[in-house]
Amino acid sequence: MFSKDNLPHEALPLPDQIERTDAEARRAADDFFDLMAKRHTIRDFSDRPVPREIIERAVATAGRAPSGANHQPWFFAAVADPALKALIRAEAEAEEAKFYDGGAGDEWLRALEPLGTDASKPHLEIAPWLIVVFAQRWGTYDDGTRFKNYYVPESVGIATGFLIAALHNAGLSALTHTPNPMKFLNSALNRPDSEKPVMILAVGHAAQTATVPAVAKMKKPLDDILKVY
Ligand code: IYR
């Protein structure tokens, strides 16, 4: 992280301003809705490789998200190495086995029934990439001193949303996977204690035979999520 010691406020004219008429804006809003409405979380991945450059570009897009004090408190570990994916799968499945064996509690397990999930996670090896999202609880300057980060869960959540949208825009599918606890990812990926694993995104092309649970198509109507004042 760059030092902010000698970084006074300086106002730049808004770069890259996009000018649209209301009609153009409406069309753009509709087009983006149509694109995003076609995004589905899947668990059936093809083993078709995905070039590293596409993953890099999508993570660069995530890095354009807004963040508390612009501290960008995120880190993404992109894993293609089969041995490392196998290790992550084994560790995740060990946690998931306890979860599905009752650790989650009845209400949570009932809530998951329509999804049809269980402790078996072969997709963690089949998907060509696993992107592990870390939240940086605190940061360090280049000289090693610590600084605070702000609104970390919010910032990392927004960046992860950018990432999922960027992957989808590139024709890739993703699964947001959150084994609990995820501390094993720090040792597997050699990340410092300052970083908290937030989720694993399995990323790749959907298998031809991929399915989604019917419940996933039941989205709340706009009236339930928006009130205009
Ligand atoms: N982490 C488990 C359980 C799970 C929890 C939620 I909340 C989901 O939306 C889906 C699954 C698993 O991945 O199976």
Average pLDDT over residues 192-208: 98
Q: Is the CB of 177 under 6 A from ligand 1?
A: yes
Structure tokens at 20: 């649209």
pLDDT at 35: 98
Q: What is the mean pLDDT of the chain?
A: 97
Q: Which pairs from 60-64 meet CB under 8 Å and 24+ separation? A: 61/162, 61/163, 61/165, 61/166, 62/159, 62/160, 62/162, 62/163, 62/166, 63/159, 64/162
Q: What is the pLDDT of residues 119-141, one digit of tens each?
A: 999 999 999 999 999 999 999 88
Domain boundaries, the chain: 41-213
Q: Is the CB of 115 under 6 A from ligand 1?
A: yes
CB atoms within 10 A of CB 85: 19
Residue 104 CA, closest ligand 1 atom number: 3
Q: Is the CB of 211 under 6 A from ligand 1?
A: no
Which CATH superfamily includes the segment(s) 41-213?
NADH Oxidase (3.40.109.10)
Q: For residue 198, how far is its CA from the centre of ligand 1 (angstroms)?
A: 13
Average pLDDT over residues 59-73: 98
Beta bridge partners of 65: none
pLDDT at 5: 73
Ligand 1, atom 6, lies closest to the CA of 112
- Burial of residue 3, with CB atoms counted within 10 A of its CB: 0-12 exposed, 13-18 middle, 19 or more buried: exposed
Dist. CA 122–CA 127, nearest whole Å: 9
Average pLDDT over residues 62-71: 98
Does position 99 have pLDDT exceeding 90, yes or no?
Answer: yes
Does position 164 have pLDDT exceeding 80, yes or no?
Answer: yes
Q: Is the CB of 179 under 6 A from ligand 1?
A: yes
pLDDT at 66: 98
Q: For residue 89, how far is its CA from the centre of ligand 1 (angstroms)?
A: 14
